[in-house]
A and B are shown apart, each in its own frame.
Chain A
Amino acid sequence: MTATEPVVETDVPTRRISVTVNGERRVADVEPRLLLAHLLRQGLALTGTHVGCDTTNCGACTVLYDGTPVKSCTMLAVQADGHEVTTVEGLGTPSELDPVQEGFATEHGLQCGFCTPGMMLAARALLDRNPDPSEDEIRWGLSGNLCRCTGYQNIVKAVRWAAEKEAK
């Protein structure tokens, strides 16, 4: 599937792609049908990107594609060839959290954690295009992502917390 993992012997042709993932250029030989989510999770071992629904509804697999949130379960890995992808592992730095991550922890914006990576990336993209969103703008901005645990109220607070921190 990728340069890092032995490929199963099949007749299916593969294609070499180059994707910049979290700032690092990665080269992989992939089946054309391989989903981006699966390239990230299995090929590149970035398991922070979760797969929930397969129908582009839940948003657990949300990643940033050239800065725009996309659902990586509904995108082929080959479509990412030559593009930049940011996953939850690319939020913040090893020593410093992104304000969105801090906000989610501070405001109890997560419980089981399964939707959290996608939710935070959608929030990151929202703040990048609107640094001071209202509650309604946050609720609308995150309406592509489902959470079953929190009831969203604390997620809204978490995004506001991040916005306020970044405004300082």
Chain B
Amino acid sequence: MTATAEPAAGSRALDEVKIGGLGSSRPRVEDARFIRGRGNYVEDVTLPGMLHMEILRSPLAHARIKSIDTSAAWAIPGVKLVLTGEMAAQRNLAWMPTLSYDTQAVLATDKVRFQGQEVACVVAEDPYIAKDACDAIVVEYEALPPIVNPEQAVAPGAPLIRDDKSGQADNIAYQWEVGDKDGTDAAFAKADVVSKLRLHYPRSHPSPIENCGAVADFNNATGKLTVYMTSQAPHIVRAAVALIAELPEHLIRIISPDVGGGFGNKVPVYPGYVCAILCSILTAKPVKWIEDNTGNLSSTGFGRDMYLDSEMALTNDGKILAVRYHATTDQGAFFADAQPTKFKIGLVHSSFACYDVPVGHITAQGMYTNKAPGGVAYRCSFRVTEAMFFQERMIQAAADDLGMDQAEFRRRNLVRDDQFPYRTPFGFLTDSGQYLKCLQIGLDAIGYDDFLVEQAEARKQGRLLGIGISTMTEPLGAGNSREYDILGIKMFDSAELRVHPTGKAVLKIGAQTQGQGHETTFAQIVTHELGIPATDIVVEHGDTDHTPFGMGTYASRSTPVAGAATAMVARKIRAKARKLAAHLLEVSEEDVEWELGRFFVRGAESRGVTIQECAMAAYSNMPDGMEPGLENNAYYDPPNLTWPFACYIATVEVDPETGVWDVLRFVGVDDCGVRINPMIVEGQIMGGLTEAYAMSNMQFQTYDADGNLVGANYMDYLLPTAWETPGFELHEVVTPSPHHPIGAKGVGECAAVGGPAAYVNAVMNALRPTGVRNIDMPLLPDRVWHAAHTGQDVSGAPPFRTE
């Protein structure tokens, strides 16, 4: 299963790395257009007669709409349509379903429930005119008390946010529970030590540099609706549009062209898309909507905003007996998580999957607040980021409570290599790994023992050095279909492969890239299976009229699921090519052997035919009775999730005078199974570590007591530049997934999931002499300074401190 295996002596197999197969860091195909400014993003799409749409948003967090006067907007020359919720309601489109079986307002009719909510939209000949007209709409609001955190939401007398929902008497969106309560209670009764930790994972926004947008083009002559849109999951969108807008699915075409980053933000269907579609139907013209950055940050899917109240039962010699915690999520005004149906708080119960923990119990509750809706899987596999952050913060707190070295505590509790497949306390089955090896490589690389000496020396001089470890495995690649569906559609994926007469090929996949380089790597899988050079294969995706149905790209599922489908369809092609080879070589199929790129006669290796010769024969010289052509498709329903492992270690220095902390070194050890393109894998890891650094250091959204969003543009919502971002030192371990056709596991999100705890644990380690147990992310200088000088924990829960 190694990608770079040397061909056997005498073999005429092609050199896989040279032809761009597995293990080849081949340059990216996509770059040729991106470096020339010739990408094709939604904003670049221009259609004849196209109109432009702008959205008017609510300035208030919670208010009843008393009236909307659009007359001044209609009077502006160039305005073609002013759409309100009342008008949308006539088409039954004022509300739409979310991906979590809730409803969400497309355009507000009764109340606004968060600042930035869509209230009306204008279509005009020019985007500037549309914006002018939005400003001319007069909305009269009657302000209502806003709720900005879950505690307020359940307080006696709290205003009911979702008075639109029949049977909704409180602000609770969902309740959920998993694990063995009685067994966990029994284990806690036997504990020597119970370690407790409470914290808040702040609200964060994926904030791809490209905001959301669409060009909706309804052709009233053909009845066909074509929508160019920023989507990570165009096929789901087609199904959703068919259901929401009651349009025939065969007359809907969703095209997701180049996507300028997604990170989970571009999975859901947002009101802006629905408005653009409705406006195109009403005007019978193409309508373009390009969201501005404030619109993106204030209304589209955020991530996190979860509270943890946890306990861990321990023995004095450092064994974990049980874990239990309660998680509270702040959902905002609508429960719009993009996540599998059965799991109301995503896969948060994947926490502790890498540790040998006998039993556990998790309860969870989601709350409505007057904040933007969402809870999307921001660069993670459905709330796994919170799960792993909680886990690793709890692990460090437990080690500290025991007075045990944090690396040694992990060693005593990580799942051993001989325990796979391993059943976790919450029911997952992890597939493979070498956890202790990864940890040791990380410790050696950072120079753990030497750093502890350096840290002790520095403390004598009043310098605060810290080291933080984060070890975690992550469930990537949903489904299987027994467990995972979205709105009832099973989470499989698909690929279709056509090999042309000259041996060149086109691969069409159901997944959609947001910059991960699918056009490069998916060709490499075909190369691995068929020996066709990667440069001879073109990969197409993102157009529902021309690709097979797939569930899209998020939760690091492209390689685990669509990648597996690609390998399987290539194997179907190879099976047919083998029959063609037998025909060409005039031997029976049983006597034909395969090596990369060619079939040959067993025992007479020089007698062979290439895959390209087989392809030509499929169209020109097939045996009697064989169907012509060389193409096929595959739908892949994975038997299990893939479980990559990572060990991240950060060293930091905290300035006690300012609360500023700097990363001294960062080491990452990732085991994501077989790497298709090592260059691309490392690029994704570094990107994830940067988002992890951002979340730990500066990037968050909060709300003031009036429900005003703090972090609605990049002046307030801080993202790290090249200057702040640390450098990363990466290491690799390869444990193939035993159930994936090429042994690959997901990887795109591991670093963003596991990274934050490494930074935070490092800062907490530096502050350990002060007795501080927790500072909520981001570890802003004022928070760190406050903790260091008072010895008190610092909460980051909204409302935002304004003093």
Contacts and interface: CB of A to CB of B under 8 A. Distances in A.
Given A148-B263, A153-B727, A58 B689 contact: no
B210 interface: yes
B512 to A, nearest CB: 12
A167 interface: no
Contact of B714 (A8, A31, A47, A53): A53
B680 A148 contact: no
Nearest to A34: B128
Contacts of A150: 683, 686-687, 690
B38 interface: yes
A73 to B, nearest CB: 10
Contact of B30 (A113, A151, A152): A113
B394 to A, nearest CB: 27
B27 A149 contact: no
Contacts of B430: none
Contacts of A105: 27-28, 31-32, 35
A47 B259 contact: no
Q: Which of A33, A60, A104, A114 has the most CB of B within 10 A?
A: A114
B176 interface: no
Interface string B663-691: 00000000000000001101110111111
A54 B715 CA distance: 10
B6 interface: no
Contacts of B723: 139-140, 143
A155 interface: yes
Q: Which of A54, A143, A153 has the most CB of B within 10 A?
A: A153
B513 to A, nearest CB: 8
Contacts, number: 185
Interface string B65-96: 00000000000011000000000000000000
Interface string B510-533: 000011110000000000000000
Main secondary structure of the interface of A (DSSP, over half): loop
B260 A114 contact: yes
Nearest to A11: B77
A51 B714 CA distance: 13
Q: Which of B691, B715, B723 has the most CB of A within 10 A?
A: B723
A115 B39 CA distance: 11
Contacts of A53: 209, 293, 713-714
Contacts of B515: 111-114, 149
Interface string B31-43: 1111111110101
B619 interface: no
Contacts of A138: 722
Interface string B140-167: 0000000000000000000000000000
B39 A113 contact: yes
A111 B516 contact: yes
B761 to A, nearest CB: 20
Contacts of A164: none
A47 B715 CA distance: 25
Contacts of A140: 722-723
Nearest to A159: B722
Nearest to A142: B722
Given A110-B35, A140-B723, A52 B689 contact: no
A88 B37 CA distance: 6
Contacts of A97: 35-36
A95 interface: no
A55 B128 contact: no
A113 B257 CA distance: 12
Interface in A129-152: 138-140, 142-152
Given A54-B294, A146-B721, A116 B34 contact: yes
Contacts of B77: 8-11
Interface of B: 27-28, 30-39, 41, 43-44, 46, 77-78, 125-126, 128-129, 207-211, 258-261, 263, 292-294, 514-517, 679-680, 682-684, 686-691, 713-715, 719, 721-723, 725, 727-728
9 contacts: A52-B210, A52-B293, A57-B715, A91-B37, A113-B31, A113-B258, A138-B722, A140-B722, A149-B261
Given A47-B41, A57-B714, A108-B28, 19 more contacts: A47-B44, A48-B36, A51-B43, A52-B211, A52-B293, A55-B713, A57-B715, A57-B719, A97-B35, A105-B28, A113-B35, A113-B258, A114-B39, A114-B209, A114-B261, A139-B721, A139-B725, A151-B728, A152-B690
List of 8 A-B pairs having minimum Cβ-Cβ separation, nearest first: A48-B37, A112-B515, A114-B260, A113-B34, A88-B37, A151-B686, A57-B714, A151-B690
